[in-house]
Structure 1
Amino acid sequence: MIRTRLRRALACAVILALCCKEAVASPTIELPGVPAQARDTVGALFETIDGGISSMAWPAEVKHVTLAQLEDQLRRPDVRASIGKGTIAVLYPNVEQPFRSAFTSMIQGIEERTSLPVRSYPVDTRIEANELNAMLKQNGTKVVIALGRQGLAAAAGLDRDISVVVGGVLLLSDADNVAGISLTPDPALLFARLHALLPDLRRVIVVYNPKNSEWLIRLAREAARSQGLELAAYVAGDMARAAQLYPSLISGADGRRDAVWLPHDATTVEESTILPLVLRETWNAGVPLFSSNVQHVKKGALFAMVPNNVEMGRTLASSAMGMLNGGSRRGSLAPSRTLQTAINVRTASHMGLQLGHQQQRSFDFVFPQP
């Protein structure tokens, strides 16, 4: 009787695998004691069952499951909803550490948020679009989450019947017309943190290149207005113009009421020339400087906000699940709203802002590090 019920339970699990609309190259069902070669096909799985339950080497920690318990699991709404929906694929840049860790953290969040199979593929510029398409379709992929610029570039060659969600990219133009999340922090959250630290501030000064940041500045204008701030935005189409603007703007600023914001903009926040200039000028003038790049806090900016990569992965997974459930495939790039904050206590002290130990604990990263 026990032998018969176990046979029925295993057969039921195989039937569940066959119920999926998309054929999967290798089933996700794992059976203790079954050799890897016997799991390659559903037919081989049936051969293992027919070969005799008693021949399996069951580990001691495996819990016995009755047929009734297995049938209860199959009735669960989340399990039934996943049948036939296929898999989610993640395309991420094939880069070395420490850069790889950011993407693996996003993948961790994706896997935590969805009950569907998630397959991850490292990609680079040499990947063939036809081969990638064939592999994804073979694995039953319905939605791709493209991480980073390389992931986005690889996803650009996919067939139109595969939906794409983008994450872990810094800048996209409105013309890209993709749904996803930028690494750029939401200006509303940046300004809220600024106001919490320096409640007397009234104006935020920013220099930007419209080709890079027009979409972000539009959001920043709305965020500033809603928080009673003035956004003084100045256009610089090249580095030379940015280098001219910063000294005059900073020298005319009031350190008690004005602050300078450094967005993610390769033109106006160029790292080797422009950034040292702005750090020096704001330090000497006593004008608060905050950034969208956490690395700038190490170099002397007052504070910055950076995405929580695991939380970003969870949000991307929710978007992917929405597409699988019939949601719109069209969307726009959104700034990151799941953020961590870094503070430079030496700069804070220079600005007359004394942060006690308890206040410092409210920040995720504190520089200089003890």
Structure 2
Amino acid sequence: MLLALDTTTGHSPSMRAGTEAIATGAMIAVIYPESAEPYRSIFTQIIEGIEDKARNRVTRLLVGRNSSNQDIANELRRQDVRVVIALGRNGLRTAMAVNGELKIVAGGLLSLPEAESRKVTLLSLAPDPGLLFERLKSLMPEVHRVHVVFDPNNSGWLIRLARDAARATGLELVAQEAGDLGTALGRYQSLLATADPKRDALWLPQDSTTVDESTILPLVLQESWSRNLAVFSSNLAHARRGALFSLYPDTTEMGRNLALTAMDSLSGTVVRGQFPLRNLLLAVNMRTASHLGLKFSERQQQTFHLTFPEP
């Protein structure tokens, strides 16, 4: 069995539930899977953020292929763990398997089935639609309508949030459902043929059904380029390949937010369910921006964390 432990102690951080965590002696366990790169580095950065914020009482539990749920459960009881931060699908699966009275905060996942989301608090990897739309309006104020193609089984919860966010941002959201690749392809072909590049933009969510990397993405990037239609994405790799911009996770800050949520859960103030990510960084494709005739002020460019093509 692979079960690596690391406990870090320090002074009480200044946060809403930090004093209760110390007063009760409750530990926060971070359960995360053994992974290859680049996921190993991503999990490490998230955990560094967790330990920075909740450094008074954090235990790492690295779960390998042969880990025993019983041994993990015994270790959680031995260290008086009251709340678990579960990273990744395997981390969450382990946390739910050993869960007794533990509260679970999950991260490193895009979404959960509705039944599972009622049992945990998930801080999703999916960028908050409101922040995406605000960034779009700051870069392209003339845009008034956003198109998106989504699978309700993958992204239904996110699109519900996006509808409210669009109204708050003064945008019209045209959201079309597609439950399979063929339907999605037809949706894209239709909207690319009719979209008005002067007022429309296309959003690519992290949806494995409707944003297929080998079929959909090349079509969208090629056709949008030829039609001068702005495309923005929830996936960093898409900005590198030609989308105007993407928002992507600030992994260390995301870890701090996971820690804060876990500590709040000790006082019962955290709501279960899944929530979009607000700890985000901005990547902009300057070649695409130039092609679209966009010019950014020096002040705007200071907010760009990554630009493509890279120097």
Q: TM-score by structure 1 length?
A: 0.76
Which residue does 1:174 correspond to in 2? 114
Calculate the aligned-residue CA RMSD, in Å: 2.2
Q: Please list, as runs of the form range in 1=range in 2, the aligned pairs for 1:252-291 lying within 5 A after superposition.
A: 252-291=194-233
Q: Report the number of matched residues.
A: 299
Which residue does 1:117 correspond to in 2? 57
Q: Output the amino acid matched with 1:229.
A: L
Q: Output the amino acid matched with 2:43.
A: F
Is 1:208 matched up with 2:123? Answer: no
User: Which residue, out of 187, 206, 209, partners 1:245?
Assistant: 187
Deviation at 1:254, TM superposition (A): 0.7
Q: Output the amino acid matched with 2:273.
A: S
User: Which residue, out of 52, 55, 78, partners 1:138?
Assistant: 78
Is 1:340 matched up with 2:288? Answer: no
Deviation at 1:246, TM superposition (A): 0.6
User: Distance in 2 between the 1:290 and 1:26 partners?
Assistant: 40
Is there any run of 5+ residues in structure 1 with no aligned partner, and where? Answer: 1-24, 31-76
Contact 1:125 1:150 in 2 (8 A): no
Q: Which structure has the larger Rg?
A: 1
Q: Output the amino acid matched with 2:179.
A: G
Which residue does 1:147 correspond to in 2? 87
Contact 1:174 1:215 in 2 (8 A): no
Deviation at 1:124, TM superposition (A): 4.0
Aligned pair in 2 of structure 1 residues 29, 269: CA closer, same or farther (>3 Å)? Answer: closer
User: Distance in 1 between the 2:131 and 2:6 partners?
Assistant: 44
User: Distance in 2 between the 1:257 and 1:272 partners?
Assistant: 28
Aligned pair in 2 of structure 1 residues 239, 126: CA closer, same or farther (>3 Å)? Answer: farther
What percentage of aligned pairs have identical amino acids?
46
**3-state secondary structure, aligned to 1:246:** helix
**3-state secondary structure, aligned to 1:97:** coil
Deviations along 1:345-366, one digit per CA (max 9) or x if unpaired, are: 0000111112355532320011
Is 1:364 matched up with 2:311? Answer: no
Query: More deviation in 96-105 or 230-239?
Result: 96-105
Normalized per residue, the structure richer in strand is 2
Query: More deviation in 348-357 or 135-144?
Result: 348-357
User: Distance in 2 between the 1:332 and 1:183 partners?
Assistant: 14
Which residue does 2:295 correspond to in 1? 354
User: Distance in 2 between the 1:208 and 1:113 partners?
Assistant: 35
Displaced runs of 4+ in structure 1, greater than 4 A?
A: 25-30, 77-81
**3-state secondary structure, aligned to 1:169:** coil
Deviation at 1:307, TM superposition (A): 1.5
Which residue does 1:89 correspond to in 2? 29
Which residue does 1:61 correspond to in 2? none
The higher relative CO (CA closer than 8 Å, separation ≥ 6) is in 2
Deviation at 1:26, TM superposition (A): 11
User: Distance in 2 between the 1:80 and 1:316 partners?
Assistant: 17
Deviations along 1:40-98, one digit per CA (max 9) or x if unpaired, are: xxxxxxxxxxxxxxxxxxxxxxxxxxxxxxxxxxxxx9778614322111011211222
Contact 2:87 2:109 in 1 (8 A): yes
Deviation at 1:316, TM superposition (A): 0.9
Aligned pair in 2 of structure 1 residues 169, 122: CA closer, same or farther (>3 Å)? Answer: same
User: Which residue, out of 246, 261, 272, partners 1:331?
Assistant: 272
Deviation at 1:181, TM superposition (A): 0.4
Q: Output the amino acid matched with 1:228.
A: G
Aligned pair in 2 of structure 1 residues 207, 369: CA closer, same or farther (>3 Å)? Answer: same
Q: TM-score by structure 2 length?
A: 0.90
